Structure 1
Amino acid sequence: MSGRRAKKTGVKDRQYVGIEKGLSIANREFISIPADAMEVTRKITEVIVRYIVKLMREESPAFDYLYAEICGGGSAYEGVKICKPDEFDIDILMRIPSIAGPVLLESNIPGYVKLRLDNFHRLKQKNLEVYNVMQTFVDEKNYLLTKSMKGTFMQSVFDRTMKRFPKNIIPIGTHKFRIKRVQSLGPALTLTLEGPHRFQVSIDLVPCIVLDKSQWPGEGFKRNPCADPELQDFLVIPKSPKRDDPHIDRYWRLSFQRQETSMIFHKQWLKPTLKILKGVRDYFGQKVSSYTLKTIFLWKLKSANPDLWQLPLSYCVVHMLEVYSECLFRGRISYFWNKKLNLLEDLSDQERSHYHGQIESLLKELKDDPKPESILKYFNLDRSHISSSLWESEKKA
């Protein structure tokens, strides 16, 4: 990822400072989620998920045997969620018994791996029930299968558990929450819940396999940049590539979310800048995932002077919009952990060109006329949407 290196704050770094007040208003009125609202919603969500998982463990001894813990991930847990605290990604972590001899194998598809149990037969001697259940998502060559693990195994345990909730009502303390909808989307089981006081959230429950540092992928993948002993494990998730392959269910996607969360922590303007880019993406309706946008920042952390994030927010925003525009022009945002995988590969040339034009148009406006209104319009905000007292206070600030 190319781009200018950060320097000491000077005239050039402050050339877009005219949009600072606009960024402040956009952040306050549109992007930021009140900390107390996020905290309360997250706690309620976690209580509900823990209760569901507790009953799943009671329902299936095999699931209980494999289960390790739940772990929050994604934007809501990294501090980069925007607008509303209404979506949460929660990983259900499981460990394959060491006696089964799990071995991580690199594949011919960048960013994906296979997981084979070289001593699967030994599990039969130690725990016949778990062995029989795991046979539903282990093939004849002892490879773990993504669709079967999520669909046949996890889905069935979840469905049996739901029968314990009449009318899909989950009692938590004195409150009742209703599972309005359950969908199987990608690697996740997505639950839509509603409850008292207009509570409504979407929860992605993602079954994951935890692997330790001895299994860290080799050639083609980055080494672990985190020395913290708590950040040595990594995950594989049941997400297969969109390819024609007779054994496509053998392919698993890697996840290094704990390492990524650590990497973007305590970088002054990094998270606010990322949230601004997410807001711009949403304004234009661009089909670019939040993870793909975050990946641009992971690459920038590797290539840029760390002082970049201490420069004015306006400079960081314009700079990262330039980097994003360049990526769209080239049609490539490489997966941080294995650069052979292009995270923009699902976009058509027409979509990429259209998105590039949108960002270039925004950049031109910010550079030609760097004032608050120039950025506010991209958040469905203008002076008519903002109280006069707020606008005046910002002008005086």
Structure 2
Amino acid sequence: MDETTEKRKYRVLEEHLNKLTKTEISLDEQEQKRYNNYLGEVLKRFVPAMKENDPLFDCTFKRFLYAGSSYENLKVGKPNEFDINLEFKLPSSDFEITDDREPGYVEVLVKSLDEKEKRRCFQNFPDGETKLRKSWLDDKGFLHRSKVSVWMQGVVDKAMKALGTIANLEILRSISGPAVTLKIKQTFEEGEGKEEEDGELVEFSVDLVPVFVFSRNEWPRNMRQPNDVTSPESQEWCIVPKPPFNRTEVTFWRLSFYAQEKTIMNNKHSMKKALKLIKLLRDKENWKNLSSYYIKTVFLWEITRQEEDFWSQGNVGFIFMHMLKRLKCNLKEGKIPLFWNEEVNLLVARSEAELQGMSNRLTKIIKKIDDKLEECPELILTFYRRSEDAVQNLESSPPSLGSSQERFSPPRTSQRETPRVGNLQTRPSPPRSMSKVTSSLETPKKLSEGSQYSGESDKKNNPRSTDSTTPSAPVEDDDERIDWRTVEAVIKIGAFAGAVFAAGAYLMLRNAQRQAREQAKNNSSSDNSSNTSNKSSD
């Protein structure tokens, strides 16, 4: 089937996907503004405090840069998580970058600073170079990932101690992989108002990630060159303190090309909408190990294959289905190549069974949508109803029969095998009304220190073990999902049973009314006889 035919075929999905975007994905502008204001207040106070309390930070800090899904316009869910890159510049111009030991990663050897660089960088910090080598480098002069992370934690702790409370905000610090995470919650003193106008207290998190920035002239030799796909203004690149999968060396730093990726994805509105819809589906299916960066990378590769008009407005249904099929193929093959270096497989840490389970599930979703496309295009909405709470509460909430629209309910499990999440046996959620598509998002956790490649939008701990306790998508049999004939038969039986019940109730009511009338008539006759007898006696 050619592209034009495919676009016509999936045009019927447009209305339902737009509705889904509006109800489940689109962020409330006022709420977004409210969170951004608090974030701005925190950064306005926090960054100067870090500079004041650590001379090395003050001398080497370049700027902070908003990163992650929120600022790529790819955020799904509440705007309460933010990623901030704290960019540093090496004070020495004499350093060596090695990128041939591990694809997608580099090592940086920092050599001695000359007198001019010492005066320029550490004018008011005589022990600057000594402090730098102690806090950042190993004995051989290589940039040490763990040392930098520990130093960053100390800088944040000193700033927090100096600041105290910021604008009635309580701030707690934790560690999430390469990031120092600030958990921020709005608090009030006794006697003050306890609620905002909308009745909800502000609570959000900020990931502060230390990154080192390099220029276009220092671009790694083994990576895709930026002039192929990026604009001149986004030529810088950086390194992030994340190790390769299954490697323990503390001198490896992960390459990051956030600015270039953002440029590549600009002005492709239908693409961003389709990407967010796939992320939302991922959340509903509870595929925690399918990071947002993996999905984003599938789209980056597709951008290089397609012409600009492929992503034009009005093609969301076609793009969504096209990219869902692409993702399914990647999962089936067990490989999503890093956009900047094809030697790196982003799925290397995922088990074959887990990938096959996700691929099988996508195959079934695509087939169901295609089979019912003309008859019931709104079927696509049912795949966004899955919720962990509903799964857990199924035992106490038996499913009920509803209207004919509710026939297309979340998939049932096979009688032969019930899917498992870790060691917990689960069942799908009961049907819900088609008029409400309730949001039930679950934000992926941050990748741990030992994690494989992931984007700035996924820095939380993400379990990697593939033992029996690791949540994984089940490999599904053909009859583990909806059997439409059985569903329709159940509905007919339910309707018949309802009619029989109603008829029985009606007959009982009529019988009760008849008995009441007869009783009243008997009572009236008894009263008349009594009156007649009394008159005769008189």
TM interval, shorter chain, is 0.7 to 0.9
SS of residue in 1 equivalent to 2:345:
coil
Number of matched residues? 370
The runs of 5 or more residues in structure 2 that have no matched partner are: 188-195, 386-431, 439-538
Structure with the greater alpha carbon radius of gyration:
2
CA RMSD of aligned residues (A): 2.1
Q: How many angstroms does 1:54 deviate by?
A: 0.9
- Tell me, yes or no, if structure 1 residue 74 matches structure 2 residue 79: no
**363, 367, 373: which one aligns with 2:378:** 373
Aligned equivalent of 2:353: 350
Aligned-pair identity (%): 28
Q: TM-score, normalised by structure 2?
A: 0.65
Q: How many angstroms does 1:382 deviate by?
A: 4.7
Aligned equivalent of 2:250: 249
SS of residue in 2 equivalent to 1:149:
helix
Aligned equivalent of 1:259: 260
Aligned equivalent of 1:394: none
- Tell me, yes or no, if structure 1 residue 193 matches structure 2 residue 184: yes
Aligned equivalent of 2:35: 41
Q: Is the 8 A contact 2:27 2:79 kept in 1?
A: yes
**25, 44, 55: which one aligns with 2:19:** 25
Task: Give distance in 1, aligned partners of 2:215 and 2:223.
Answer: 18
SS of residue in 1 equivalent to 2:103:
coil
Which amino acid letter does the alignment assign opposite residue 258 of structure 1? A
The runs of 5 or more residues in structure 1 that have no matched partner are: 388-397
Task: Give distance in 1, aligned partners of 2:337 and 2:221.
Answer: 18
Greater shift after overlay, 235-244 or 118-127? 118-127
Q: How many angstroms does 1:329 deviate by?
A: 0.2
Q: Is the 8 A contact 2:222 2:341 kept in 1?
A: no
Which amino acid letter does the alignment assign opposite residue 60 of structure 1? D
Task: Give distance in 2, aligned partners of 1:26 and 1:155.
Answer: 40
- CA distance change for structure 1 residues 177 and 372 in 2, over 3 Å: closer, same or farther? farther
Q: How many angstroms does 1:225 deviate by?
A: 3.6
Q: How many angstroms does 1:120 deviate by?
A: 4.5
Aligned equivalent of 1:232: 235
Task: Give distance in 2, aligned partners of 1:40 and 1:225.
Answer: 39
Which amino acid letter does the alignment assign opposite residue 109 of structure 1? E
Task: Give distance in 2, aligned partners of 1:204 and 1:54.
Answer: 17
Q: Is the 8 A contact 1:21 1:372 kept in 2?
A: no
Task: Give distance in 2, aligned partners of 1:225 and 1:258.
Answer: 14
Which amino acid letter does the alignment assign opposite residue 73 of structure 1? A
Q: How many angstroms does 1:202 deviate by?
A: 1.5
SS of residue in 2 equivalent to 1:53:
helix
- CA distance change for structure 1 residues 59 and 87 in 2, over 3 Å: closer, same or farther? same
Which amino acid letter does the alignment assign opposite residue 35 of structure 1? E
Q: How many angstroms does 1:227 deviate by?
A: 5.5
Superposed CA deviations along residues 321-380 of structure 1, whole A, max 9, x for unmatched, are 000000000000011011111111111111101111111111111111124432212222
Q: How many angstroms does 1:224 deviate by?
A: 4.0
Q: Which has the higher strand share?
A: 1
Task: Give distance in 1, aligned partners of 2:79 and 2:269.
Answer: 22
Q: Is the 8 A contact 1:80 1:271 kept in 2?
A: yes
SS of residue in 1 equivalent to 2:242:
coil
- CA distance change for structure 1 residues 229 and 36 in 2, over 3 Å: closer, same or farther? farther
Aligned equivalent of 2:292: 290
Q: How many angstroms does 1:273 deviate by?
A: 0.5
- CA distance change for structure 1 residues 316 and 120 in 2, over 3 Å: closer, same or farther? same
SS of residue in 1 equivalent to 2:76:
coil
Aligned equivalent of 1:392: none
Task: Give distance in 1, aligned partners of 2:118 and 2:58.
Answer: 18
Aligned equivalent of 1:360: 363
- CA distance change for structure 1 residues 67 and 21 in 2, over 3 Å: closer, same or farther? same
SS of residue in 1 equivalent to 2:343:
coil
- CA distance change for structure 1 residues 85 and 227 in 2, over 3 Å: closer, same or farther? closer
Q: How many angstroms does 1:34 deviate by?
A: 2.3
